[in-house]
A and B are shown apart, each in its own frame.
Chain A
Amino acid sequence: MLSGKFRSALVIGGQGIRARKLRTFLSMVSLFLGVLAVVAVQAGSEIAERAMLTDVELQSGKDGTIMGYVPGEKGAPGIVESTLKGRTDAVAMISSRAIIGEPGVRPINEGGMPFEYANRGGDYSGPMVYCDANGTCTEQKKEERKPDGQAIEVSMVALTGDIRPFKPFRSVSGTWLDFGTAPSLAPRIVLNEEAAKGLKQYRVPGEMMIDGATHHVSPQIIGVVQDGSSQPRVYMRLDELRTWMPAAAATTEVDRFRGGGTQLELYLQPGTDDLQQLIKAKLTGAGLEQNQMHFQTVNSKERMESQLKIMRLIFLGMAFLVLLIGVAGILNVGLATVGERVEEFALRRAVGMSRLLLAGIVLAETLLTGLLTAALAIGAGVGGLQVALMMFGSRFPSLQGTAFPWEAGVAGVIAGLVAGVLGGLIPAIRAARIPIATVMRA
C-alpha cells in the first residue's frame, strides 16, 4: 500500500503538471534530446556489442571454450581423431585446402581469397626462400602456373563432431552435418556464405580436390551456414573425409610455409582438463614439442567489452552533457514556477503539509516530467531502430532481428529520473523554505 504522503505527493504533483501543461511540455522538450542521446548511445553500444560478440563467437568460439592449436604433423590428426571419437565435450577441426571445379586449372580465387578480390592484379611475388630452425635457407621452386579455369579454392574443414556448441553457426539454408548417421562415400558438405557465393557466381563442375586426398571426390552440398569467415570454407565430417584422405597424410613445415598442409584446431568444453592433458601427453609421445601446442581459454566478451568501454564512456559523457543542458532547462522552469507558487506552497504548509512533503511534491513534478520524457525518448528509440532496420537491415545482416535492448530502456528511465532529481532539487529546497507567516500576512 502506498503511504498517504506518497499518494498526496503524486496527486498534487499530477495537479501541478495538469495546471501548467505548456511549461511541462517545454521542460520535456529541453530534456528530450538529452534523454534520447543517452538512450541512443546505450542502445547503439549494446547492439554493436551484441553484433560484434556474435561475429567474434562465430570466429573464435564461445566464451569459456578451451581452444587448442596443434600442427598437423607427426600423426597428430590421427591421434586427436582417435582420442575424441565418440566424445561430445570436445571437437577437432582439421583444415586443409580444397579446389572445387575443373581439375588441373588455376582457381578463380587462388589462395582461397574472398571472391571480391578474385582476378585482381597479377603474380608479382619474388622468389620464395624457406629457412629452417638451423638457419639453412633454400629457395622454393615456384609452382608451375596453371591455366585459368572454372574452379574455386576453399578452405576445407573436417570435423570430428558437431562444432555448433562451441561456435554458434547460423543456418542460412539446408541442414547441418548429421554426425549420428553412417558415413557416406560421397561426402556431405556444408558451405559458408562466401563459398556459396562463389559457387553461385561461377559455374564450376561438382568435383572436389582435397590437398592430400588420394582421389577427387563428388560432394553433396546439404546446406549453407554463416560462420563469420570472409574466406570461402566448406565443412564436412572427418570420418567421411577419411575415405579419401588417410590420417597418415602428414604435413611438413614447408607445406605450412606455403600455406598448405593440414592444421588442427581443438575446441574443448570448460572442465575438460583431464582430456586436455591426455591429448598433450599423446602428442608429446608422438614427437611434438610442448611449445608447438597452444591451448587458451576463449574470453572474447571481456576483451571486447574493455575495448568498447572507453568508446561507450566517451559517448555517454557527451550524452550526459546534452542531458545537463536539459536539466538546466528544467531547473530554470522549476525555479520560475516556485517563485510563482509561493502562496500555494505557503498555504499547503498552513493546512498541515510538512516541509519535507512539500519538497517531495516539487520533486515529484520534475520526476514525473523526467519519466514522461524518458517514455517518449524510449518510444522514439524503439521507433528509430525499427525504421533503421527497415532501411539498412539488408545491408547489415548481423542487425537483422535486432530487438531494442532493455539496457537502453533502463538507461533512459535512469536518465529521466536523474534529470528530474537534478532539475527539481533546488526548486524543492526553495519551496520547503518558504516562510508561511510572511506569505499569509501579505
Chain B
Amino acid sequence: MTQSFEQPTVQVQAPLLQLNGITKVLKGQGEPRTILSGVDFTVHPGQSVAILGRSGSGKSTLLSLIGLFDRADEGKYFLHGNDITKLPERRAAALRSAEFGFVFQRFFLLKHLTAAQNVAMALVNGQGWSARRKRKQQVMEALEQVGIAHLAKSKPTRLSGGEQQRVAIARALVRQPRIILADEPTGALDTETGNLVVEVLLNTTRQGCGLVLVTHDHDHARKMGRVMELRDGRFN
C-alpha cells in the first residue's frame, strides 16, 4: 500500500500595486513645493491599508497618483507587475475603469439621477458596452452588496448621508475593481454611520480586493490590516 503525501505549497502573491520612490512636486505660481518625496508603497490582493497623516501631508496626492488621476514627477509605478509610470491618458482612463473603484469624502452623486443611475454611471463610461438588462443586474448586485437595493429608484436628495455614501461605494464596486481607493469616506458622516461604511469597505477585501483608506480617524485605521502614516511627504 502506498501513501501519498500532499506537499504543502507556499504561495507568494504578487503585489496588486507597487510604488517605488515616488516624488511629486507641486509647481504653482510660487516656489515649487515637494508633496511626496521618495515614497514606497505596496498593496497586495485582499489587503487593506490605512494611510494616516495631517492635512497637507500628501495623503490625497498619493491617492490621486495611485488612482492615475495625476502623474508622479519621479519614481516607478507597477500595477500587477507592469510598469505603468508613463501610461498615456487614454489607457489610464481604461485602467481607472477596469482596476479601480473610488470613494470620496464628498459623495459626488448627480442629483438628477436616481441611486441606480448614479451607480450605472461607472458602467456607461465608454469602456465597453453591456446590454441594458445586464447593466441593471450589475447595478442591483452592487446596491445589494452595500445593503440599499431598496433605494435604487431614490434620488440622492431623498437619501441620508450614510445612504449616499453607500451609493457612492456601490458605484465604486459595480465594475468589480481590484483596488478600492477611499479618500476620507467617513469624513462627512457621524461615527455610527462611518463605522458602517468602513465595514462595507472592509467586506470588499474578503473577496480579494485591495483597499487603500485615507483617513484621520485612528479607530477606522486600526480596523485595516496595515496602518501607515505620512509626514511631510514621507512614510514614517
Q: A349-B93, A356-B90 are in contact. Are A12 and B127 (CB under 8 A)?
A: no
Q: Is the CB of B126 within 8 A of A357?
A: yes
Chain A residues whose CB sits within 8 angstroms of the CB of B94 once the complex forms: 352, 354
Q: Is B134 an interface residue (CB 8 A)?
A: no
Contact of B129 among A8, A348, A351 (CB under 8 A): A8
Q: A12-B124, A352-B127, A440-B69 are in contact. Are A19 and B97 (CB under 8 A)?
A: no
| Distance in Å: Cβ of B67 to nearest Cβ of chain A | 7
| Distance in Å: Cβ of B171 to nearest Cβ of chain A | 7
Q: Is B112 an interface residue (CB 8 A)?
A: yes
Q: A18-B112, A349-B93 are in contact. Are A7 and B70 (CB under 8 A)?
A: no
Q: A344-B110, A351-B121, A355-B89 are in contact. Are A437 and B70 (CB under 8 A)?
A: yes
Q: Is the CB of A437 within 8 A of B93?
A: no
Q: Is A395 an interface residue (CB 8 A)?
A: no
Chain A residues whose CB sits within 8 angstroms of the CB of B108 once the complex forms: 343-344, 347, 440
Give the docked Cα–Cα distance between A435 and B64 (Å). 11
Q: Is the CB of B102 within 8 A of A351?
A: yes
Give the docked Cα–Cα distance between A18 and B112 (Å). 9
Give the docked Cα–Cα distance between A344 and B117 (Å). 13
Q: Is A335 an interface residue (CB 8 A)?
A: no
Per DSSP, chain A at the interface is helix
Chain A residues whose CB sits within 8 angstroms of the CB of B70 once the complex forms: 435-437
Give the docked Cα–Cα distance between A19 and B96 (Å). 27
Q: Is the CB of A348 within 8 A of B125?
A: yes
Interface size on A, residues (CB 8 A): 30
Interface size on B, residues (CB 8 A): 32
Chain B residues whose CB sits within 8 angstroms of the CB of A5 once the complex forms: 126
Chain A residues whose CB sits within 8 angstroms of the CB of B102 once the complex forms: 350-351, 440
Total A-B contacts with CB atoms under 8 angstroms apart = 88
| CB proximity to B under 8 Å, residues A387-442 | 435-437, 440-442
Q: Is the CB of A354 within 8 A of B69?
A: no
Chain A residues whose CB sits within 8 angstroms of the CB of B104 once the complex forms: 440
| CB proximity to A under 8 Å, residues B46-101 | 60-61, 64, 67, 69-70, 89-90, 93-94, 96-98
| Distance in Å: Cβ of B63 to nearest Cβ of chain A | 9
Chain A residues whose CB sits within 8 angstroms of the CB of B128 once the complex forms: 4
Q: A15-B112, A440-B69 are in contact. Are A354 and B129 (CB under 8 A)?
A: no
Give the docked Cα–Cα distance between A441 and B63 (Å). 10
Q: Is B183 an interface residue (CB 8 A)?
A: yes
Q: Is the CB of B67 within 8 A of A350?
A: yes
Q: Is A9 an interface residue (CB 8 A)?
A: yes
Chain B residues whose CB sits within 8 angstroms of the CB of A351 once the complex forms: 96-97, 102, 121-122, 125, 171
Contact of B93 among A3, A9, A12, A352 (CB under 8 A): A352
Q: Is B113 an interface residue (CB 8 A)?
A: yes
A343, A344, A352, A356: which has the most chain B beta carbons within 10 Å?
A352
Q: Is A48 an interface residue (CB 8 A)?
A: no
Give the docked Cα–Cα distance between A352 and B129 (Å). 13
Residue of B nearest to A1 (CB): B129
Give the docked Cα–Cα distance between A285 and B203 (Å). 110
Residue of A nearest to B70 (CB): A437
Chain B residues whose CB sits within 8 angstroms of the CB of A350 once the complex forms: 67, 69, 96, 102
Give the docked Cα–Cα distance between A82 and B60 (Å). 101
Q: Is the CB of A352 within 8 A of B122?
A: yes
Q: Is the CB of B93 within 8 A of A440?
A: no
| Distance in Å: Cβ of A429 to nearest Cβ of chain B | 15
Q: Is A308 an interface residue (CB 8 A)?
A: no
Give the docked Cα–Cα distance between A7 and B129 (Å). 8
A4, A12, A356, A437: which has the most chain B beta carbons within 10 Å?
A437
Give the docked Cα–Cα distance between A4 and B117 (Å). 17
Chain B residues whose CB sits within 8 angstroms of the CB of A343 once the complex forms: 108
| CB proximity to B under 8 Å, residues A270-319 | none
| CB proximity to B under 8 Å, residues A8-26 | 8-9, 11-12, 15, 18-19
Residue of B nearest to A352 (CB): B97
Give the docked Cα–Cα distance between A7 and B127 (Å). 11
Chain A residues whose CB sits within 8 angstroms of the CB of B64 once the complex forms: 436-437, 440-441
| CB proximity to A under 8 Å, residues B131-162 | none
Q: Is the CB of A9 within 8 A of B121?
A: no
Give the docked Cα–Cα distance between A354 and B113 (Å). 21
Q: Is the CB of B112 within 8 A of A9?
A: no
| The 7 residue pairs across chains A and B that have the minimum distance between CB atoms | A352-B97, A4-B129, A19-B112, A437-B64, A357-B126, A437-B69, A5-B126
Interchain residue pairs with CB less than 8 A apart (27): A3-B129, A7-B124, A8-B125, A8-B126, A15-B117, A19-B112, A19-B113, A344-B110, A347-B108, A347-B110, A349-B96, A351-B97, A351-B122, A352-B93, A352-B94, A352-B125, A352-B175, A354-B93, A355-B93, A436-B69, A437-B60, A437-B70, A440-B64, A440-B69, A440-B104, A441-B60, A441-B183
> Which of B's residues lie within 8 Å of A, judged by CB?
60-61, 64, 67, 69-70, 89-90, 93-94, 96-98, 102, 104, 106, 108, 110, 112-113, 117, 121-122, 124-129, 171, 175, 183
